[in-house]
Structure 1
Amino acid sequence: MYFELKDTTADILAKSRRREELCDLPLDLIESEREAYDIQTTAQDALGFERKGYALVGTSDPARRMLGLKGPIYSEIPAFGLQRKAQNFRLPPGTIGVQCEFVFTMLRSFPDDGERISLDSVADAIMSCRPAIGIIGRRTRHAIAGTNAAIADFGLHVATLCGEHAERGEAGDFAGIEITTFLFQRTMLSGNSSSVMGNPLNAVAWLAEELAANGRQLEPSDVVATGSCTPILQVRAGQHLAADFGPLGQVECLFN
């Protein structure tokens, strides 16, 4: 049984991600969230890349329904998985789709000792925000079955493609932003930043709480990709996607 040998399971996942190959691990047999995060952490270590921050998935109701998740999940972003101003991206096997999201960069450690986690304290700890396209996918040939399987499989994170930095804002500045996606300049999906936990800064707060429960915290220059503000969109090679985040600007990519 793979899950009696977590290191073996994690090593197979890491090799599959590095080589962009699919494997046959029955991740649906993972029994607990704790075991799933343990496997994910060991797989991240096996990848051997510097971590750049965190990617969240399932922070909105439509995303959770599509992916079959009970709640939000997170994973660390390896250096190769964070791309700035990317104009082209090759979709690997197992790609599920894309999510239009906010990427916050931390100004300082958060939370500080004794600091209360709130929208205002999160806003104070943020250095900047960027619009982004998140690529989500799996490393197994089997469709993801449940939250624990998704967590173990790098939280379904493939890559985060970031646009330009926008000015740091107050907590209220990120609520109610309209997002529109275009394929070949034709409107496909629209959404609102409030679909991410009421305000995308709440996704940062949720992550800070999760990390604090395990004796960790967000560090200066960490990025946090908040999860999708729109329904997850399936894309294919040859398609051009643009996402308009209103006052935060646009981000676009050609998939191949």
Structure 2
Amino acid sequence: MYFELKDATADILARSRRHDELCDLPLQLIASESEAYDIQAAAQDALGFERKGYAIAGSTERSQRTLGLTSPIYSEIPASSLLNNTREFRLPPGAIGVQCEFAFTLLRPYPDAGERIDLGSARDAILACRPAIGLLGRRTRRTFWGNNPAIADFGLHVATLCGNHVPAASLAELVSIEVTTFLFRETVVSGKASSIMEDPVNAVVWIARQLAAKGRQLEPTDVVTTGSCTTILQVLAGQHVAADFGPLGQLDCVFT
């Protein structure tokens, strides 16, 4: 894709996200992962919001199948799309569904110079954890399968709805948590935290390695969301979704 077309594609994606509109971009023509992330970055710049961290999608094989991915992908989170204790959210066109996930807040730059990126160092770099409901969606009328269209389209991220912080001291216990999702108070799906890369903290390890490969790092107060530990649940306007994260508490939202 020519440079001029990358810029035009990014501008259209940004406009579609800002105005909750769908577009007809041929994102299947994106030739490489590098090109897809370049378009995503340009679209974030065109969107113009401060960025608050990183959202991961496809962190389990089950969610990859649902989203048509072959591996995890990520996107930056615009400040306007990171919401705390939001009890009502309007579904935009192109919404795919919701995922129950964990949202980590970073304490310090990670990794430090020469620091090994692994589970132990990631736990040390995390300030706190929150339960979260992530809303996924597309900005295109057509559904394009594969990583590159999804990466360019803001990594399919729409919004992250976060609950209250839980101290980092409990991070080692996260792997044993089972999350249950309710639709109108009826149990719909459940999943184990360990389904996310064997330990949800490994999502921080994964994104830190992705950034390090590009000469970047996570910064203090960055938020990293892990991707779904349950089946991605389709939601419709008027539905009430609640998620029980055990010791992390509950989170719920009415989608309008």
Alignment TM-score, normalising by the size of structure 1: 0.98
Check whether the contact 1:100–1:227 (CA below 8 A) recurs between aligned residues: yes
Q: How far apart, CA to CA, are the structure 2 residues paired with 1:217 and 1:177?
A: 28
Q: How far apart, CA to CA, are the structure 1 residues paired with 2:13 and 2:91?
A: 18
Check whether the contact 1:3–1:9 (CA below 8 A) recurs between aligned residues: no
Show the counterpart of 1:253.
Answer: 253
Show the counterpart of 2:45.
Answer: 45
**Residue 167 of structure 1 pairs with residue 162 of structure 2:** no
* TM alignment of 1:23-102, pairs within 5 A: 23-102=23-102
* TM alignment of 1:171-186, pairs within 5 A: 171-186=171-186
Show the counterpart of 1:215.
Answer: 215
Q: How far apart, CA to CA, are the structure 1 residues paired with 2:46 and 2:52?
A: 16
Q: How far apart, CA to CA, are the structure 2 residues paired with 1:170 and 1:132?
A: 16
Q: How far apart, CA to CA, are the structure 2 residues paired with 1:221 and 1:238?
A: 34
Check whether the contact 1:68–1:147 (CA below 8 A) recurs between aligned residues: yes
The one-letter code sitting in structure 1 at the alignment partner of 2:231 is P
Q: How many residues align?
A: 256
Q: How far apart, CA to CA, are the structure 1 residues paired with 2:96 and 2:74?
A: 16
Shift of 1:174: 1.5
Shift of 1:167: 1.7
Q: How far apart, CA to CA, are the structure 1 residues paired with 2:235 and 2:210?
A: 31
DSSP-derived class of the 2:92 partner: coil
Check whether the contact 1:196–1:226 (CA below 8 A) recurs between aligned residues: yes
Deviations along 1:62-94, one digit per CA (max 9) or x if unpaired, are 100111101000000001100000000000000
Check whether the contact 1:119–1:171 (CA below 8 A) recurs between aligned residues: no
Shift of 1:171: 4.7
Q: How far apart, CA to CA, are the structure 2 residues paired with 1:3 and 1:94?
A: 27
Check whether the contact 1:120–1:170 (CA below 8 A) recurs between aligned residues: no
Shift of 1:22: 0.1
DSSP-derived class of the 1:104 partner: strand
How many percent identity over aligned positions? 67
Structure 1's unaligned 5+ residue stretches are none
Check whether the contact 1:123–1:169 (CA below 8 A) recurs between aligned residues: no
Task: Let me know the Cα RMSD of the aligned residues.
Answer: 1.1
Shift of 1:5: 1.5
